[in-house]
Amino acid sequence: MQGVFYAVFEEEIHQVILENQLFKPGERIAIGASGGKDSTVLAYVLSELNRRHNYGLDLFLLSVDEGITGYRDDSLETVKRNELQYGLPLKIVSYKDLYGWTMDEIVKMIGLKNNCTFCGVFRRQALDRGAALLKVDKVATGHNADDIAETVLLNILRGDIARLSRCTSIITGKDGPIPRCKPFKYTYEKEIVMYAYFKKLDYFSTECIYSPNAYRGFAREFIKDLERIRPRAILDIIKSGEDFRISTTTKMPEQGTCERCGYISSQKWCKACVLLEGLNRGLPKLGIGRNQGLNSDGKKDRKRDSRTPSIESKQCGSLEF
Ligand X SMILES: Nc1ncnc2c1ncn2[C@@H]1O[C@H](COP(=O)(O)OP(=O)(O)OP(=O)(O)O)[C@@H](O)[C@H]1O
| Known binding-site positions | 32-34, 38, 64, 142, 147
Q: Does 63 bind ligand X (CB under 6 A)?
A: yes
Residue among 187 and 310 whose Cβ is closer to ligand X = 187
Rounded to whole angstroms, the Cα distance separating 115 from 74 reads 20
How near is the Cβ of 295 to ligand X at its closest, in Å? 31
Q: Dmax over Cα atoms in the chain, in whole Å?
A: 64
Site membership for ligand X, residue 124 (CB under 6 A): no
34 binds ligand X (CB under 6 A): yes
> Cβ closer to ligand X: 102 or 141?
141
Confirm or reject binding of residue 142 to ligand X (CB under 6 A).
yes
Binding site for ATP, by residue number, is 32-34, 38, 64, 142, 147
120 lines the binding site for ligand X (CB under 6 A) = no
- H or E element, residue 265: strand 264-265
Q: Which is nearer to ligand X, 36 or 284 (by Cβ)?
A: 36
Nearest residue to ligand X, by Cβ distance, number only? 36
- Mark the segment that binds ligand X (CB under 6 A) among 141-149, 165-173, 226-234, 248-256: 141-149
Is 64 a binding residue for ligand X by CB under 6 A? The answer is yes
- Separation of CA 34 from chain center: 10
Burial (CB count within 10 angstroms: exposed 0-12, middle 13-18, buried 19+), residue 55: buried
Read off the amino acid at residue 69: T
Q: Is 125 in the site for ligand X (CB under 6 A)?
A: no
**Residue 317 sits in the site that holds ligand X (CB under 6 A):** yes
36 binds ligand X (CB under 6 A): yes
Report the side by side order of strands in the sheet with 138-140: 90-94, 58-65, 28-32, 138-140, 180-181, 171-172
Among the listed residues 124, 129, 143, 216, the single contact to ligand X using CB under 6 A? 143
Spatial CA neighbour of 57 closest among 69, 42, 71: 42
Please classify residue 246 by burial: count the beta carbons closer than 10 Å to its beta carbon, then call 0-12 exposed, 13-18 middle and 19+ buried.
Answer: exposed
32 binds ligand X (CB under 6 A): yes
- Dihedral sign computed on CA atoms, order 114, 115, 119, 121: positive
144 vs 179: CA distance, rounded Å: 17
Q: Which CB sits closer to ligand X, 32 or 287?
A: 32
Residues that bind ligand X (CB under 6 A): 32-34, 36-39, 62-64, 141-143, 147, 317
